[in-house]
C-alpha cells in the first residue's frame, strides 16, 4: 500500500505528499485518515500500517535535540529510540529472530528527509527527494526527471505516476509543506 513522496525545494522547505489507499490482499479502501502530517518541527509520511502511523501521529513524544548534537546523530539516537519505545509500548513493534521490526516511514527535519526502515535504521538519500511504499520506484523515477516546476507540482506528479502504475496507490493526494526555519546543523 501507499506512496509517500518527500522533496526539498531550493528554499530548503520540505514538501511531503501521500496517497489515500488502504490495501489488504486484493481489497482496496480509500481512506479519509491521512498518511502525511506535521508534528512540531517535523513532517511525517508512513507506509506499512495505519496503526503505526496513528501511534507516530498521536502518541510519539518527540525529544528535544541537545544544542551540541548534530541533526543526524539526534535522528539516529534520541529520535529513533523514542520511536522504538512508542511503538513497543503500544504493542506495535515486533521481534523476529532477535531483530526488532517496526514499519517504514519518512521524516522531514531541518531541510533533510530521513528514511526510517523497518529495522530502525535511519537513512539519508543523496538526492533532495525520497519516497517509500509500493509506489516508491515509480515516484523516484518521476522525481529524478523533474523539471523547473514548483515543488508541490513535482510531488503531485510523482504521486500521479505512482498511481498510474501501481494498483495500491489512490487519490485523493494530500501535500503539506514544512517551512525551513534556518536551524539545521547537519
Domain 4-178 has CATH 3.60.10.10: no
Spatial distance between the Cα atoms of 154 and 137, rounded to a whole number of angstroms: 15
Q: What pLDDT, on the 0 to 100 scale, is given for residue 184?
A: 59
pLDDT at residue 185 greater than cutoff 60: no
Q: What pLDDT, on the 0 to 100 scale, is given for residue 95?
A: 87
Cβ–Cβ < 8 Å for 135, 6: no
Mean pLDDT across 43-48: 97
Q: What is the DSSP letter of 144?
A: H
Q: How confident is the model at residue 182 (pLDDT cuts 50, 70, 90)?
A: confident
Which triple of cell numbers denotes residue 26? 486484493
Is the pTM higher than 0.85? The answer reads yes
Spatial distance between the Cα atoms of 116 and 75, rounded to a whole number of angstroms: 10
Amino acid at each position: 500500500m501507499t506512496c509517500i513522496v518527500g522533496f526539498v525545494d531550493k528554499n530548503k522547505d520540505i514538501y511531503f505528499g501521500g496517497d489515500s489507499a488502504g490495501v489488504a490482499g486484493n481489497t482496496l479502501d480509500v481512506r479519509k485518515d491521512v498518511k502525511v502530517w506535521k508534528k512540531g518541527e517535523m513532517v511525517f509520511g508512513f507506509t506499512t500500517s495505519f496503526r503505526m502511523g496513528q501511534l507516530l501521529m498521536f502518541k510519539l513524544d518527540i525529544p528535544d535535540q541537545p544544542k551540541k548534537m548534530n541533526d543526524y546523530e539526534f535522528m539516529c539516537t534520541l529520535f529513533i529510540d523514542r520511536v522504538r519505545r512508542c511503538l513497543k509500548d503500544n504493542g506495535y513493534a515486533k521481534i523476529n529472530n532477535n531483530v526488532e521490526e517496526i514499519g517504514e516511514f519518512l521524516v522531514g527535519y531541518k531541510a533533510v528527509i530521513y528514511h526510517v526502515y523497518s529495522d530502525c535504521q535511519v537513512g539519508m538519500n543523496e538526492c533532495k527527494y525520497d519516497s517509500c511504499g509500493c509506489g516508491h520506484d515509480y515516484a523516484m523515477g518521476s522525481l529524478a526527471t523533474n523539471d523547473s516546476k514548483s515543488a508541490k507540482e513535482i510531488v503531485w506528479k510523482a504521486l500521479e505516476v505512482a498511481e498510474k502504475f501501481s494498483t495500491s496507490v489512490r487519490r485523493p493526494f494530500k501535500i503539506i509543506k514544512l517551512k525551513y526555519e534556518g536551524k539545521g546543523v547537519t
